[in-house]
Structure 1
Amino acid sequence: MTLFCGLDFGTSNSTIARLDPGGVPHLLKLEAGRETIPSVIFFGFEDDMIRFGREAVAEYVSGAEGRLMRSLKSVLGTSLIGDTTRVKARSYGFVEILGIFIAELKRRAEDELGGVVEQVVCGRPVHFVDDDVAADRAAQEQLAGAVRAQGFRHVEFQFEPIAAALDYERQVTAERLALIVDLGGGTSDFSVVRVSPERARAADRSGDILSTAGVHIGGTDFDRLLSMAKIMPELGLGTMTRDGKRHLPVAPYYDLSTWHRINRLYNAQTLRDLRGTRNEARAPERVELMMELIEDRLGHRLVGAVEAAKIALSDVDRTRFEFAVRDQSITTEMTVADLTEALRNSVERIAGAIGETLRRAGVGAEAIDSLILTGGSTQVPVIADGLRKLFPDAELVRTDVLGSVGLGLALDAKRKFG
C-alpha cells in the first residue's frame, strides 16, 4: 500500500502526519510514543551507532564519546551545506546527514502505518535565507534532493504558516481574517490568510493567501543571543588584551554559541589560536576556561543549558545558571529583563516583518480577527507580550505549537495526492 503524508522537518523538532479514514489528520508517534522527535543525530564513537531525537540527546548528555548534530535545517541555502564533519575515520557531508535523519523519519512512519510512504508534502519556511532568492531556491532544492534520495517519489512543498492555517481552519464557524505567526527554531514566518468552513473545501487556496513574509530568526538565534549576552562574557567575550588596545576576537564566542557552528571549534588550530588569545588576554583565566570547555567538547551541552534557562524564563522572572567545566563552574543569574534586552533587535525585526506582511495584504492591524500562534518560540515572554500589544483586539489562538504545521501538511497532502 502506497501512502501520502505531511512532513514537518523542523530546526528543533520534526513531525509526520497522516489522515485517518475519516479525513482527520493525526501525528504519528515517532519516538517512544511521542508525536515529536527532536531534529538531532548522535554518532557514537564507542559503539559506532547512530541515534536520533531524545535518545541522541540522552546518549550525549550521559557523557558518551561521539558527535552530536543539531539544527540541521539551518545549513540549507548557506555556505555550510558544502562542509563536512568528521566522525571517526569518515567524513559526512551535511546533505548526507540530512538524508540519514529523514530516512529514519520515513522508516518510523512506515513501521507505524504498515505501508510504503512515497508521496509527501514538506513544510518550508517563507524564507530559508533572507533577501537572497537564489539561495532560497537552492535551499528548497537541497531539501527536496535529500527527501527524494530516501525513497519519496513525489515531493511537494507548502509554506509552514499556510499549513498552520489549514489546521486552524478546521475549527472556525465563520469567515475570519487570520495572521499566522510561526516562530520556529530557525525562522519566523507570517501570513495573512482568509479562512472559513466554505473556503476549507476548495482545492486551490492561493487566492485566500493575501500575503506572506518572514525573517531568518528563531529559537536557536534566541539561544545564541542569550549566550552571547550572559555566558560568553564569563569566558572572556568583551574583555581587553593586556595592553588595552583591543577586545578579544569575537568569532570563537559566536561559534560556541551557535549549534551548527560548534563542531568547527573542535580542532587543533582553534586551540592554538585560543592559546595565543589567552597569552594576550587581560583575564587569561577566562580564556583558559573556554579552552577546557572546547577540549572536553562541551559546546553543545553548554548551549543546551542556555536553551533550558531561556525556557525557564517563560515561567519565572529569574533563574540561576550553573555549568560545570572540570573543577570550575560558569555561574551567573539570568532574568526576563536580560532575555528581553538580548532579543531587542530580533523583536524589532519580527515586528518589522509583521508590518510588511500587513502592508503586502493591504490591511491594518485592526482588520485581523485571529492571531494564530504556532512554533515553540511564541512562548518566549517578550515575544508573546509584543504580539498581544500589536493586536490587542484579535482573538489569540494558541495551536499545538509543535504539531499544527504537520497536521496542516497532511491536509494539504490529501489535496495534492488523495
Structure 2
Amino acid sequence: MTAAPLAPTIGVDFGTTNTVVSLTHGDDHAHLVRFSIDNRDLFAFRSALSFHSVQGAAGAANERVVEAGPWAIESYLEDPLETRFIQSFKTFAASQAFTETRILNKRYQFEDLLAAFLLRLKDHAGEQLAALPPRIIVGRPVTFAGSSPNEALALSRYEEAFKRLGFEDIRYAYEPVGAAFFFARQLKQDATVLVADFGGGTSDFSLVRFQRDPDGTLRSTPLSRSGVGVAGDAFDYRIIDQLVSPELGKGSEYRSFSNNLPIPQRYYAAFARWDQLALLRASKDMRDIRALERIALEPEKIAALIEVLDGNHGYALYRSVSALKEALSSQTQATFKFEAGSVDIEKTVQRSEFEGWIKPELTAIETAVGEALDRADLSEAGVDRVFLTGGSSFVPAVREIFLSRFGAEKIESGGEFESIASGLALIGRESDLDLWTMRAGAEG
C-alpha cells in the first residue's frame, strides 16, 4: 500500500461498545488519541452517553448536562436515578423504526445522539483534536445491526453528525478492511488475509490480497466481504434471557378475568438489549409493567423487574454479564452474580451451557465466513493468514470456528481495540481512495 506525502488524516472507529480515534501526522504511522481520567490513560472511549438535569438558579430552567465515554459512566454512577444513561446506541443507526427519543423533555434523533457523543469526545481529547485534519475515514460495518437495516439511512445519519464537527471530506470504509490495513504492517511476504472483526453489534469479514512490489511497496487488493448483524451484544442478550429475565417474570403469567395469560415477551426482549433498556424505563410499556404487578401470579418477580428499571441498574447488569463472558473465556465454569437493590441473582454457568445459548449466533457467524470465501472464489486453503480482532474474538466457541476451518498455524490476533481506527487512518493516505472508501449516498 502506498503512503504518499499527504495531509494528516483521522480514522474513527465508532463502535457499539467502544470508540477509538487514530491520526496520521505526515508519516506512515497511526497514532491513537488518548484520554486521561482518574489517573488512567485510555484510548478505548466507551460508546455511552449520559444526560443529567441540574437545577438552575431560582426561576431558571434546569440545565441539561451531557457527558460521554467514561465520564458518562461516572455521571451515571454518581446519580443513577436522575441520570439517563444510554449505551450501544449505534444499534439504532440503520433502524427506520427509531426516529427519536425524548430525554429530559428534549427530542433526540440518532444524529443528535451521535453528534453529542462526538462533540464530548473531541472536548475530552483536548489539544489532540483541537485542529481537525481535513479528511476523515469513518468505519462502518459490512452489515448494520438490526432485523432490516437501512444502510443508506445509517450513512446519512453518520454524515449529518460528523458534519456538525466541521468535517467536509467524509469517507466511509468497512471496519474489517481497516483492521486489514493495520495487520498488513507485519506481513513479510505476499499473503491473502481474512480479517474477522467482532464488535458489539456486528461481526464482519473481509478478504484482502497483499503483495509487495520489487521496490518494497505493499499493494493491496480487496477480494470480498461479508457480515452479519450479531456479535457481543447478542451474546449478552442470551445471558440475560437465560439467567435474569426468568427471575424478573419472564415465562410467568397474570390473571385476566377468569383466564391465566402469559406476561408479554416484548418486555423482556427489550430488557435484554442494551440499546432498548435505556428506552424501556421511559416508554408506555413501563406503565403496563407497573399495572401487571397487581394481577401477576408471581407479583414478586414483576416487582423485581420494576425495581431494576426504576433503579436504573442497567449498567450494573452490563458489568455482571461482561464479567461472566470474560470468566468463561478462560474457565469452563463461572459464577454469574447480579445485585441491584433487593434483587440478588447468583448462578453457576458451564461454558458448554453458554455455548448452547449462543448457537444461533455462532451458526450465523460461520455462515458469513463461508459467504466471504465463496464471493472471493476461495477455499480455506487459499487463505494464508486469518486475523481475529474485536472483543468477542476471545470467546472460545468463536475462535474454534476459525481453528477448525483454517488451522491454528494461520490464526493471528492482537490490537483488539485499536486495529480498526489505526487502519482507517492509514487508508486515508491511500492514493486511490475510491478503491477502499465510499461516500454517503454512493454504492458500497
TM-score, structure 1 as length reference: 0.91
Match of 2:143 among 127, 133, 136: 127
Do structure 1's residue 71 and structure 2's residue 84 form an aligned pair? no
What CA distance in whole angstroms lies between the structure 2 residues aligned with 1:235 and 1:318? 24
Does structure 1 conserve the Cα–Cα contact (< 8 Å) formed by 2:94 and 2:146?
no
What CA distance in whole angstroms lies between the structure 2 residues aligned with 1:390 and 1:284? 49
What CA distance in whole angstroms lies between the structure 2 residues aligned with 1:42 and 1:416? 40
What CA distance in whole angstroms lies between the structure 2 residues aligned with 1:103 and 1:80? 25
CA apart distance, 1:342 = 1.4
What CA distance in whole angstroms lies between the structure 1 residues aligned with 2:147 and 2:83? 36
Give per-residue Cα distances to partners, 1:131-153, cap 9 Å, x unaligned: 858x1122112112211122111
Aligned length: 412
Seq. identity, %? 26
What CA distance in whole angstroms lies between the structure 2 residues aligned with 1:40 and 1:126? 22
In the alignment, which residue of structure 1 is the partner of 2:42? 34
What CA distance in whole angstroms lies between the structure 1 residues aligned with 2:179 and 2:124? 23
CA apart distance, 1:280 = 4.1
CA apart distance, 1:104 = 2.7
CA apart distance, 1:67 = 0.8
More off after superposition, 287-296 vs 236-245 = 236-245
Does structure 1 conserve the Cα–Cα contact (< 8 Å) formed by 2:385 and 2:411?
yes
Does structure 2 conserve the Cα–Cα contact (< 8 Å) formed by 1:369 and 1:394?
no
Do structure 1's residue 235 and structure 2's residue 224 form an aligned pair? no
* Compared CA separation, residues 362 and 24, structure 1 to 2 (3 A): same
* Compared CA separation, residues 98 and 113, structure 1 to 2 (3 A): closer
Give per-residue Cα distances to partners, 1:40-76, cap 9 Å, x unaligned: 1111234743222122113323444311111121111
In the alignment, which residue of structure 1 is the partner of 2:349? 334
More off after superposition, 187-196 vs 401-410 = 187-196
Match of 1:18 among 20, 23, 26: 23
More off after superposition, 320-329 vs 149-158 = 320-329
Match of 2:203 among 188, 198, 203: 188
Do structure 1's residue 317 and structure 2's residue 326 form an aligned pair? no
SS at match of 1:82: coil
SS at match of 2:227: strand
* Compared CA separation, residues 387 and 63, structure 1 to 2 (3 A): farther
What CA distance in whole angstroms lies between the structure 2 residues aligned with 1:221 and 1:81? 19
What CA distance in whole angstroms lies between the structure 2 residues aligned with 1:196 and 1:244? 69
What CA distance in whole angstroms lies between the structure 2 residues aligned with 1:118 and 1:362? 38
Do structure 1's residue 278 and structure 2's residue 293 form an aligned pair? yes
In the alignment, which residue of structure 1 is the partner of 2:269? 254
Give per-residue Cα distances to partners, 1:194-239, cap 9 Å, x unaligned: 1233399478x4xx21110000012112111211111111112123
More off after superposition, 115-124 vs 40-49 = 40-49
Does structure 2 conserve the Cα–Cα contact (< 8 Å) formed by 1:5 and 1:18?
yes
In the alignment, which residue of structure 2 is the partner of 1:146? 161
SS at match of 1:116: coil
* Compared CA separation, residues 63 and 103, structure 1 to 2 (3 A): closer
More off after superposition, 92-101 vs 269-278 = 269-278
In the alignment, which residue of structure 1 is the partner of 2:113? 97
Does structure 2 conserve the Cα–Cα contact (< 8 Å) formed by 1:6 and 1:18?
yes
Match of 1:7 among 12, 16, 41: 12
In the alignment, which residue of structure 2 is the partner of 1:365? 380
What CA distance in whole angstroms lies between the structure 2 residues aligned with 1:132 and 1:325? 34
Which amino acid in 2 is paired with 1:403? E
Which amino acid in 1 is paired with 2:398? I
What CA distance in whole angstroms lies between the structure 1 residues aligned with 2:88 and 2:300? 31
Q: Which runs of 5+ in 1 are unaligned?
A: none
Does structure 1 conserve the Cα–Cα contact (< 8 Å) formed by 2:49 and 2:72?
yes
What CA distance in whole angstroms lies between the structure 2 residues aligned with 1:411 and 1:227? 39
What CA distance in whole angstroms lies between the structure 2 residues aligned with 1:84 and 1:172? 46
Does structure 1 conserve the Cα–Cα contact (< 8 Å) formed by 2:20 and 2:44?
yes
Which amino acid in 2 is paired with 1:8? D
- RMSD (Å), alpha carbons: 2.5
* Compared CA separation, residues 399 and 107, structure 1 to 2 (3 A): same
* Compared CA separation, residues 54 and 417, structure 1 to 2 (3 A): farther
CA apart distance, 1:290 = 0.6
* Compared CA separation, residues 99 and 35, structure 1 to 2 (3 A): same
What CA distance in whole angstroms lies between the structure 1 residues aligned with 2:212 and 2:424? 18
SS at match of 2:252: coil
* Compared CA separation, residues 216 and 105, structure 1 to 2 (3 A): same
Give per-residue Cα distances to partners, 1:244-291, cap 9 Å, x unaligned: 854321111111111111133213743431244334433221111111
What CA distance in whole angstroms lies between the structure 2 residues aligned with 1:309 and 1:336? 10
What CA distance in whole angstroms lies between the structure 2 residues aligned with 1:66 and 1:346? 33
Larger relative helix fraction: 1
Give per-residue Cα distances to partners, 1:55-98, cap 9 Å, x unaligned: 211332344431111112111110354122312x4332221111
* Compared CA separation, residues 80 and 86, structure 1 to 2 (3 A): farther
